[in-house]
Amino acid sequence: MLIEDAIAMLQTHQVPGKDAEMRAYYKVDRAYWGVGNPILDDQARLWRQELPLEDRLQLASDLWSSNAYEARICASKLLTQARIRPEDSSAWALIKSWIPDLDSLGISDHLCLAGQRRLVSDTSRIQEVESWTLSPHMWTRRAALMITLPWAKYRNPTPDNWAIREQVLGWIATYADDRDTLIQKSVAWWLYELSRKDPESVRVFMTKHGHKLRNFARKDASRLLLPKVEDKK
């Protein structure tokens, strides 16, 4: 499918005035078409069903390169599926290549959802993600936590998944000193999700490192814990 045809297809669903609202909200200089997420979901699902893998990867690459907000969301959705046959290494390589481009929450979170599926399908990739934690690019550091969220949600993790969870908690310990608001929010989100399944691990973490978190992050991370971790300035 030609990228021009794909963009024209998406733009037929523009909502008048929504593009200006999105530009004001995200504060990133790029094209916004004002197309709702349900439309992007439906179109990406249709393309996943109709296009062979090679064509799907090319379309995703072209959509991402356009830099339009909805195009990058749709590119991510094209790669968001549990199984990619015959193999998913090209999809994973594409996802990794886009990480340094991240600059807004919506695009970042959709790309990380796609990346989660590829990590779960091949957990050895976690070692590549670990290098992101040292990046000077805040969005790359944040992506390391967002892409590993499935390991915060396992109720009864296997020994291998337990090891990955402990590995990510090690990253989070190094993030505790990072004053960036979005990094602190990602730490709180990860710990909160973990507290729903494994509150004791979060309690241990908060005892060791909670004092380094900003107040709002400490409260968000520990709000399911009993007794609550005391706030410290």
What digits encode the pLDDT tens for the residues 35-88? Answer: 999 999 999 999 999 999 999 999 999 999 999 999 999 999 999 998 898 899
Q: If we measure between CA atoms, which residue out of 100, 91, 159 comes closest to residue 125?
A: 91
| C-alpha span between 217 and 83 (Å, rounded) | 35
pTM: 0.93
Q: How confident is the model at residue 232 (pLDDT cuts 50, 70, 90)?
A: very low
pLDDT for position 91: 97
The residue written with tokens 């969870």 in the block is 165
Tokens of 144: 């390391």
Q: Would you state the pLDDT for residue 227?
A: 64
What percentage of the chain reaches a pLDDT higher than 90? Answer: 94
For 80-139, how does the pLDDT look when each residue is reduced to its tens digit (9 = 90+)?
998 898 899 999 999 999 999 999 999 999 999 999 999 999 999 999 999 999 999 999
- Is domain 125-233 given the CATH code 1.25.40.290 in the classification? yes
* Mean pLDDT taken over the chain: 95
With contact defined as beta carbons under 8 Å apart, do 147 and 164 qualify? Answer: no
